[in-house]
Structure 1
Amino acid sequence: MVDGHWLGGGVMWLFWIVLIVVVLWAVKSAASNENQSTNKQKSAQDILKERYARGEIDEDEFERRKRELKK
């Protein structure tokens, strides 16, 4: 009754599951690296604007640093 095909079929399912997991991991990793490289390309003025928008620095500090960057 059992002709030995179950083991082959089970291994094939395992292969496809592992393959899908590896592909998903690779896509997620590539997307993560893309986001990191985008952050590295920000100018000092962009970073200053973000810090001001988040409330990390006040208006006086923002203006002072902006003048320093324009020198």
Structure 2
Amino acid sequence: MMNGWGMGGWMWIWPVLILIGLAVLATTAVLWTRGRGPSGDDRGTARRILDERFARGEIDEEEYRRRRDDLR
């Protein structure tokens, strides 16, 4: 008869491993849906918005160049 210290004593490890695996999966999913984590893409987004505003005529060339230089 087992007294709880044999193979049955290690049964607590499986729920812990499952919880750790779920936490890793959740973190990976969040980072993946956010654009694969912080990658410095904010400057690219800002530049794209600036380009679109210039193309629509919302800002003139002088302001476009000034703001573009500020983004660098």
What TM-score comes out, normalization by structure 2 length? 0.48
TM-score norm. by structure 1 comes to 0.48
Judging by fraction of residues, say which structure has more helix.
Answer: 1
